[in-house]
Structure 1
């Protein structure tokens, strides 16, 4: 929040003083005001990201509803400004009503400092994408879940069903399919969306770092522990914790994780006092579920804890025309980013994209289009501009033995094998098959490859 500008409006002078002291080191600017009638003039004179607005003032405009009145005024003239309502415990019903009228959130006073800061951080984070669209030189962030195929519609349906629940979710899929984006989408559609979303790649944590990163530590717990530090569980309290690459953690790490999930409390290193945590757990792995069920590799009792519901993220090769839809999006994105006027794809480029198997999935497609935009000197992307990553070539699956005696099936598999062998290069594949490029294109259309 170092770039945030905060305005606090309340007629309690002690509260304004406390807010100024708390927020001054955390944000770029904090301003306080006791008279709500000065609100609009302040907004006219300076940019404000978030307003902390009291629900009731002594000089009432509409007794009991003053906050709602000023909320309406703010949203009418400055809709991009986020408003967090400040309410007493007995007026929570009014605060809930304010959410329906455009407030970003509300906080009950007397507040806990940490809770207030978390609410501000979450609200400011939500505001950022909207703010960035006003900057002409800013490229919009890549959105999640691009694609209109039937398989993606089914994925949207599943997310809509499970996101508002408290169920722990296990996200399965190959590398590069977007499991982390799916997790973020679940959080955004959940009831915890205003709270923290904390991601940790547990597969990359060593045995020595696992506990300190996840559970935190107290000052003096080990040589370099110069101050208390919260772990990821405690940081995500009230929100969502996303544990990526969970299939790669050791059995010893699994036992420690299982204990935390069962007890819903963490014990920081160097402490004997458990700290309760309230998190919704999302996990992801590229390890197939059947492989996880091998108890020599993964504890079944932990699988049941993390896998109330599972989501299988489809590989790109199964998503049909989503490949072209994604390619067109990445083309627009990188043309903007690199200030190029690349308008579209030539027919041979489209066919090359459709023919390739994408072992690196969406990530490989993204980097291939980025490279093509950078290297192309034409107004549209040609087939020869698209080069697939040599990093992924080791992942090419060996051709399956042809056990079918159906001639069309044999031909289709031979064409697929040649296309994969030469990374989508039509000329080389045609030469290998003893065909002309035109003849190969006709067969690609015939077999819908």
Structure 2
């Protein structure tokens, strides 16, 4: 890259200075400009190879449209110039849109210096005479993420871009879509992959357990505190902390979490001494972002802390051909687990899977295939072997069988849980499995409905 000429366009003077200092020893020439109105003139006067172009110049708007406007101007008049878009907030979808409009890549700030240099080096190498063969889309099975649909390829691309950054990530998606797998995949593709990945289901923590589990405690802090214990933040030091079901924590818990994230330090219960922590934070929730933004439910200042970037995980019903891939994967897994010789899925079984809307997503598909494998005595799975989640099937039946005309979802859920608990004589594990819930989630609902 020693022969490269690079133009950096951003209205942040500090960023321009830092980028110029970083790039100067690695390239032939670095030009910087804070006013995008001047960039076309600079391109006319200089033989530029790569433009680093900010997506936003009007801080009160922050739509990214300014960057897309200048990207189109550059590609229209200087089609051979490579453009790398810069974004500073959770506009990954907008950045992906810029790729479709001709950008060579995008990078999220704050970035790792090595990451920026590697991105520029890769783009510059592709400008050299010897072309690189581009890999064809294939089925992917990286860190448990199976799929070759277009929507999953797009998701993998986003993960590859955001994982090496230090940005806090909020994963959004329906129950059963695999948000925990996404979190683990981000960690495995990050610069912290050799360090700990610590998962906490914060939605299952009571007010009294929240602080001791996350922040730790000193001996004697409370009655059962017989020794010092590190919290999850300390266990995740230098690694990744994954807070699952973060949309379910109380406002009081949110205030405590925000304080730790702001100060980058925890104070264990029974201590007054803060302990610095260096973690990469990933959070997940099934609560839509618009609902989460209601300040009576969730603090907006905390949303901004946890949501530098957001990743939307698609529901299974939008993944098309991936349904068959996943079904075959689970079939092999459970056939091996239960020592059964099942060759595959018959055509009528495949048709049944393809025609179902999977309200329980991947978790429901997994549950259905496991049950089919257990119950089947044949060498292949037939349509009649596949039964879908009882909780999804029971809800409308129970509502109308009981004579209720109400569409109250909480009442429907309450009746489904009560029915499952009665069917299994109070066995939490069996009831939770039938309902497609974790034990912790079922405990919370039992307490919620006073069952």
- Same fold, judged at TM 0.5 (above): yes
Aligned residue for 2:287, secondary structure, equals: coil
Alpha-carbon distance in 1 for matches of 2:223, 2:150: 55
Is the Cα contact below 8 Å between 2:267 and 2:275 reproduced in 1? yes
Gaps of 5+ in 2: 1-140, 401-451
In 1: Cα distance, 2:289 partner to 2:189 partner: 25
The whole-number CA distance in structure 2 between the counterparts of 1:365 and 1:228 is 43
Q: Is the 8 A contact 2:142 2:185 kept in 1?
A: no
Q: Which residue of 2 aligns with 1:345?
A: 345
Separation in structure 1 between the aligned mates of residue 142 and residue 360 of structure 2, nearest angstrom: 18
Residue 218 of structure 2 contacts residue 269 of structure 2 at CA under 8 Å; is this kept in 1?
yes
Distance in structure 1 (CA, Å) of the matches to 2:339 and 2:264: 50
Residue 142 of structure 1: CA displacement? Answer: 10
Give the CA deviation at 1:392.
2.3
Identify the residue that residue 200 of structure 2 maps to in structure 1.
Answer: 200
Contact 2:240 2:280 in 1 (8 A): yes
SS at match of 1:243: strand
2:317·2:357 contact (CA, 8 Å) conserved in 1? yes
Question: Is residue 2:326 matched to residue 1:326?
Answer: yes
Q: Which residue of 2 aligns with 1:291?
A: 291
Contact 1:233 1:241 in 2 (8 A): yes
Asked if 2 retains the 8 angstrom alpha-carbon contact of 1:359 and 1:396, the reply is: no
1:69-218 map, 5 Å: 143-218=143-218
In the alignment, the residues of structure 1 paired with residue 299 and residue 394 of structure 2 have an alpha-carbon distance, to the nearest angstrom, of 31
The equivalent residue for 2:247 is: 247
Deviations for 1:19-49, whole angstroms, at most 9, x for unmatched residues? Answer: xxxxxxxxxxxxxxxxxxxxxxxxxxxxxxx
Do the aligned residues in 2 keep the contact of 1:201 with 1:243 (CA within 8 Å)?
yes
**Alpha carbons of structure 1 residues 278 and 186: separation in structure 2 relative to 1, 3 Å:** same
Q: How far 1:377 moved relative to its partner?
A: 1.3
Moved over 2 A (4+): 392-398
C-alpha separation in 2, matches of 1:142 and 1:160: 11
Q: What whole-Å deviation, never above 9, does each CA across 1:273-299 have from its counterpart, x for those lacking one?
A: 000000000000000000000000000
**2:335–2:342: 8 Å Cα contact kept in structure 1?**
yes
Q: State the partner residue of 1:282.
A: 282
Secondary structure, in 3 states, of the residue corresponding to 1:157?
helix
Q: Does residue 360 of the first structure (1) align with residue 360 of the second (2)? A: yes
Distance verdict in 2 for CA 1:179–1:277, change over 3 Å: same
Give distance in 2, aligned partners of 1:234 and 1:395: 43
Residues 171-219 of structure 1, C-alpha deviation per residue, up to 9 Å, x if partnerless? 0001110000000000000000001110000000000000000000000
Give the TM-score of the pair, scaled to structure 1: 0.56
Instruction: Give the C-alpha shift of residue 365 in structure 1.
Output: 0.4
Q: Tell me what 1:374 maps to.
A: 374
Unaligned runs of 5+ in 1: 1-140, 399-449
Q: 1:360 to 1:206 in 2, by over 3 A?
A: same
Cα RMSD between the aligned structures?
Answer: 1.7
Whole-angstrom CA distance in 2 between matches of 1:143 and 1:344 = 24
The Cα offsets for residues 300-336 of structure 1, whole Å up to 9 and x where unpaired, read as 0000000000000001011001000100111111111
Partner of 1:229: 229
Distance in structure 2 (CA, Å) of the matches to 1:350 and 1:378: 16
Residues 215, 268 of structure 1: 8 Å contact kept: yes
Deviation at 1:367, TM superposition (A): 1.0
Structure 2 residue matching 1:146: 3-state secondary structure:
strand
Structure 1 CA distance, aligned partners of 2:232 and 2:384?
46
Shift in CA distance, 396/355, structure 1 to aligned 2, threshold 3 Å: farther
- Aligned residue pairs, count: 258
1:177 aligned counterpart, secondary structure: coil
1:72 corresponds to: none
1:278 counterpart SS class: coil
Secondary structure of 2:195 counterpart: coil
Q: For 1:295, what is the secondary structure of its paired residue?
A: coil
CA contact (8 A) 2:265 2:277 kept: yes
Q: Match of 1:333, SS?
A: helix
Whether the aligned pair in 1 keeps the contact of 2:265 and 2:276 (CA below 8 Å) is yes
